[in-house]
Amino acid sequence: MKTIEKPYLRKGTLLGEDRYRIDALEEDNDIITTYLAYDVFRQKKVKIRELFPTRIMTRGAGEDQTISCKLLSSEALFKSMKGHVIARAKKLIGLYPLENITNVLAFFEGNGTVYVVEELTPGAVSLDEYLKKRHSFKFTVEALLKILAPAFGILEKLHGKGIWHGSLTPANILVTPQGSCLLTHLTDPVEDIASEELGNPAIRRSEYCPVEMYVEDAQRGPGADIFALGAILYRYTTGEKLPPYYERINDEVEPKAPKDCETRIMDFQSDAIMKAVALYDFDRYASVAELLKDLAPEDMELDSLHSTQEEARNFSRLPYWYRKRQNEFKRYVVILAVIIIAFIVIFVPRFSDIAKNGKINRFYKRFYKATEYERCDMLSKLSKQDRSFYGNDYMTLPDDMEEEERSKLMTSKYFDLRLGHYETGNPSQAAVGNFEYLKIDFMLGQAWVTYISREKEEHWEFPLKPAIDGSFTVRKTVTEGGAAAKTTVEKLTP
């Protein structure tokens, strides 16, 4: 772990809407800076890779960690590099999960650049470090293929998907504690590293990098990976590094074939390695599969090594703590929904009844205190819906209905002036103690209003339409204290 100093991101910096926390600096290849980070959402350690070509970019001072181009002329190059990083990240995310690579989990933009989130592989070491622990300087091709076979396989698959590595070195090949081989640095913008503005960045290791990676307008692609694989095999079968292209060009330096370096490899394997590291891509193999076929003895079975597929799938699942919190939240939502439904079922009808009774109560209190003319006016202005709401509307009953059936329908509801709500039945039969009732029945063209109390009973027949002069002719019948009923007819004027 390296101490984070300028111009790198500070320890504790939060990225990606405060989801990722920077913990330590791991590597800087002059194009992309790699940090060890922590995903606070999934509660897992990850790698964060920041596009920061230090040759052309600078970071703001103080709290501002935004990076910007040192020169306006570099903006087009940096834009191209961002585009290549994003395009590679999108392709790899689309293939997730893949075996034998450090999978790309996400990417996002911020601080003027782009960040890529990759899996962390605890305990994995570089191929170079792994082989040094074997206490040997020269290996057989068979021994190397047992380690590197997954790298050959995944590169063949990636090439078929239009993805090539471009910066393959022993440092970018990891070996896990289980012996599985993983490729890293797949999102490096290698399409642009030949630009003169970038100088000679550390991402480009001359002994593993073909000539086309140094020529700005050259055609680049999977041939660079085939060259790198051949250079890695050359390094660990001969114990020597392959001379860089600029020493080999014009035949100034010709690398020795592995079979001439006191190695323990067969001639056909030496020839295959030399073809893979040919100076120009048209002299190399057309595919990784062809190279592997020419390297492996006929009796050698290249079985797949340990698969990281299940581990990758596990990473795609939601964290346990998050799923647990979601389940708890769902339970709370269900409980709350049940409470709300119960509240609606139990109390909303009551509130509705209260509101309804309040409206009826106000109408009857006003009706009770009004003059007879005002009562006529109130009744004449009621709509059909209001008539059904405030009284018993029989105006729609058929004319040929039997009297007995009609009388049953007419005994419906009345208003208790003391309690302030509707009752059903016949007021005279229900009367007990002190009572006051008002009952309104709407007949054809008339409203029959009945007032009943312990002392007296009053009955009005109000017309529902006034005369031409605005008057109403009202028929009133009063029965009081057991005396005979008295009927009067009165014309009411405004």
Asked if the model's pLDDT at residue 137 lies above 80, the reply is no
* 147/159 same-domain check: yes
* 400/461 same-domain check: yes
pLDDT value at residue 427:
64
- Which among 191, 170, 193 is positioned nearest to 182, based on CA atoms? 170
* 138/286 same-domain check: yes
Share of the chain residues as helix, strand and coil, in percent rounded to the nearest 5? 40, 20, 40
Mean pLDDT over each residue of the chain, to the nearest integer: 85
Residue 192 lies in a domain: no
- Model confidence band, residue 305 (pLDDT cutoffs 50, 70, 90): very low
Residue 197 lies in a domain: no
* 359/376 same-domain check: no
Residue 1 lies in a domain: yes
pTM: 0.63
- Model confidence band, residue 316 (pLDDT cutoffs 50, 70, 90): very low
* 161/283 same-domain check: yes
Asked if the model's pLDDT at residue 310 lies above 50, the reply is no
Of the residues 86, 102, 122, which one is the last residue of a structural domain? 122
Residue 193 lies in a domain: no
Asked if the model's pLDDT at residue 484 lies above 50, the reply is yes
More confident residue, 353 or 285: 285
- Its domain, for residue 46, covers 1-122
Total number of domains in the chain: 4
Asked if the model's pLDDT at residue 304 lies above 60, the reply is no
* 397/271 same-domain check: no
pLDDT value at residue 308:
38
Strands 472-480 and 436-443: unpaired
CB distance 65 to 111 below 8 Å: yes
Residue 181 lies in a domain: no
Residue 198 lies in a domain: no
pLDDT value at residue 250:
76
Residue 272 lies in a domain: yes
Tell me: the pLDDT tens digits for 434-466? 788 888 888 878 899 988 888 888 999 999 888
* 109/4 same-domain check: yes
pLDDT value at residue 409:
61
- Model confidence band, residue 365 (pLDDT cutoffs 50, 70, 90): confident
CA-atom Rg of the chain in angstroms: 46
* 402/488 same-domain check: yes
* 147/106 same-domain check: no
**Among residues of the chain, what percentage have pLDDT more than 90?**
49
- Model confidence band, residue 278 (pLDDT cutoffs 50, 70, 90): very high
* 350/383 same-domain check: no
* CATH code where residue 253 lies: 1.10.510.10
* 306/323 same-domain check: no
Asked if the model's pLDDT at residue 314 lies above 60, the reply is no
* 400/456 same-domain check: yes
More confident residue, 398 or 236: 236
Tell me: the pLDDT tens digits for 25-42? 999 999 999 999 999 998
CB distance 208 to 236 below 8 Å: no
